[in-house]
Amino acid sequence: MEKDALSAGVSKVGGLFSTAEIKILVCYILSALNAPVPGRMLADVLHYEGIANCFEVNDAIAALCESGHLKPADEKDDTYVITDNGRQIADTLKTTLPLTVKDRAYKAALKMVSRFRNAKESITEISHEDGKTYITCSATDNGKPFMSVKLLVADEEQALFIKNRFLNDRSIYSEIIELLTKPDKK
Give me the pLDDT at residue 6, please: 47
- 88 part of a folded domain: yes
Give me the pLDDT at residue 11, please: 56
- 40 part of a folded domain: yes
**Do 97 and 150 fall within a single domain?**
no
Looking at 89, 116, 143, the residue that finishes a domain is: 116
**Do 88 and 23 fall within a single domain?**
yes
Spatial separation of the C-alpha atoms in residues 106 and 154, rounded to whole Å: 37
CA distances from 108 to 2, 44, 50, 151 (A): 25, 10, 11, 31
Listed in order, strand segments (DSSP E) in the chain are: 37-38, 70-74, 79-82, 122-129, 132-141, 144-153
**Do 100 and 130 fall within a single domain?**
no
State phi, psi for 147 to the nearest 5 degrees.
Answer: -160, 135
Give me the pLDDT at residue 167, please: 82
Give me the pLDDT at residue 94, please: 86
- 1 part of a folded domain: no
**Do 126 and 110 fall within a single domain?**
no
Spatial separation of the C-alpha atoms in residues 10 and 12, rounded to whole Å: 6
Give me the pLDDT at residue 186, please: 66
CATH number, domain of 50, equals: 1.10.10
**Do 40 and 112 fall within a single domain?**
yes
- 31 part of a folded domain: yes
For 98, residues 6+ apart whose C-beta sits below 8 A from its C-beta are 14
Give me the pLDDT at residue 150, please: 94
Spatial separation of the C-alpha atoms in residues 135 and 154, rounded to whole Å: 10
Give me the pLDDT at residue 4, please: 46
Q: Starting from the edge strand earliest in sequence, which strands make up the sheet with 37-38, in order?
A: 37-38, 79-82, 70-74
What is the end-to-end Cα distance of the chain in Å, rounded? 67
Looking at 74, 98, 116, the residue that finishes a domain is: 116
Q: What is the count of structural domains for the chain?
A: 2
**Do 91 and 157 fall within a single domain?**
no
The list of the chain residues with pLDDT below 70 reads: 1-14, 170, 186
Range of the domain at 40: 19-116
**Do 88 and 142 fall within a single domain?**
no
Give me the pLDDT at residue 177, please: 79
Looking at 66, 87, 116, the residue that finishes a domain is: 116
Q: What is the pTM of this model?
A: 0.69
Radius of gyration of the chain measured on its C-alpha atoms: 20
Spatial separation of the C-alpha atoms in residues 99 and 66, rounded to whole Å: 28
**Do 99 and 161 fall within a single domain?**
no
